[in-house]
Amino acid sequence: MKRFFLSLILVLSNSIFLFAEEKIEIFPSVPFDQFIVYQNLAIFWVAIIGLIVIIRMKLREFERIQKMGIDKEEKDIPLLD
């Protein structure tokens, strides 16, 4: 029982120190700077989605080539020697 109260007191004392810490702004408070941050985030996510779409298109192309059998090498093709 003593351990429980001791741990409870330690947790509460640590949380009191957290309330006393200085708040740090993550996003700028100037509207123009906020616009730039959100614009960069939007461009970043559009680029990520674009890369996912391109990868899916390439994977479908590889599957199509494999279904057609173009990637297999034929043995009786005349060579230009």
Per-residue model confidence as pLDDT tens digits over 55-78: 999 999 989 888 887 766 666 667
**Residues in CB range of 17: below 8 A, 6 or more apart:** none
Taking residue 37's Cβ as centre, other Cβ atoms within 10 Å add up to 13
20, two tokens: 């006393």
Per-residue model confidence as pLDDT tens digits over 22-64: 777 777 788 888 899 999 999 999 999 999 999 999 999 989 8
pTM over 0.85? The answer is no
